[in-house]
Amino acid sequence: MALTILNAKEYTKKLKATIHSTGKLGFTDETAKALGLSKESYIKIAQDDASNKLFLSVSDIQSDEAFKVNAAGQYFYLNTAALFNILNIDYKKYNIMYDLKRAEEFDGELGGAVYAMEARITNRKKEGGRNM
């Protein structure tokens, strides 16, 4: 019998992205590192026609289908307000976070490592700390 120690650090990473009230999709520092984001990165966002579930894929190849990754210091984000408006995602009323889960079955279709975007939605807090 052979035992393999499972590295706790690998299994405690929580990859996520959040839509800000401005419509920008921002990535946590840990997520940016895990996805290898840089100012030279591009991200494709795809939608499953049947479920409306969103997916993303990171690339270093510019295309009309991909969003340019922007950086403010060490913080990475996408200018996605127009996309979320067309998809009727109410990021102004709700705090929308996406847990990113690896979806290898779509790698070939999007041309890179694909992640399913699993939404967690809560009410935004009003100024002063009270929920809407």
Mean pLDDT, 10 residues at a time, over the chain (132 residues)?
73 84 95 94 94 94 95 94 96 95 93 94 72 48
**E strand or H helix that includes residue 68:** strand 66-68
d(CA 132, CA 126): 6
**Taking the model in full, what pTM does it have?**
0.84
Three-state DSSP class for residue 32: helix
How much is the pLDDT for 12?
A: 54
Cα 97-101-104 angle, rounded to 5 deg: 145
How much is the pLDDT for 10?
A: 60
How much is the pLDDT for 43?
A: 96
How much is the pLDDT for 14?
A: 87
Contact 18, 98 (CB under 8 A): yes
For 97, how many CA atoms within 13 A lie in the half-sphere containing its CB?
Answer: 11
Other beta carbons within 10 Å of 75: 12
Q: How far is CA 91 from CA 6, 25, 44, 51, in A?
A: 37, 10, 20, 19
How much is the pLDDT for 132?
A: 46
